Amino acid sequence: MDARSEAAIRDRAYRLVRRATISVICSVVALTGIFSTAAALNFSGKPVAAHHDAPPVLPSATPPVQKAPPAPIIVKRVVYVPYGASGSYTGTTASGGGAAPAPAPAGSGPVAAPPPPPPPACVSTPSKPC
């Protein structure tokens, strides 16, 4: 391209941006003047009248009282029973405490597995009723 035509295109673009900027600034000033004039014309200068009485005075409630949290539950002894061996223990100890299970007699045979867990709760939907 010719250097003269590039310069002319560039100058035209600068003039367009300049005109757009000035137009926006003038529009903002005009709108500000219109809104401020409308606000000044509608201002009466009188204080705002109360439309309702003062809110009623409510009696003060008793202040909340803090209480101590409940005493924690303390586990004194934990006994580990391996899976599948729960049927081979009776439930008393030689010390008479009654909390720890004692082993079953040697001739009691194999230990039965625990019963299966219950089925999950049914969640009914329109497409899948229970």
Give residue 12's pLDDT: 95
Give residue 64's pLDDT: 83
Q: CA 118, CA 116: separation in Å to the nearest integer?
A: 7
Q: Mean pLDDT per segment of 10 residues, for the chain of length 130 residues?
A: 85 96 97 95 79 74 85 82 63 49 60 81 79
Give residue 28's pLDDT: 97
Give residue 93's pLDDT: 47
Q: What are phi and psi of 103, to 5 degrees?
A: -65, 150
User: Domain locations in the chain?
Assistant: 1-42
Alpha helix positions (H), the chain? 3-42
Give residue 1's pLDDT: 62
Question: pTM for the whole thing?
Answer: 0.34
Supply the DSSP string of 69-128, one letter for each residue. PPPPP---------TT-GGGB-S--TTS-SSS--BPPGGG-SPPPPPPPPPPPP---SSS
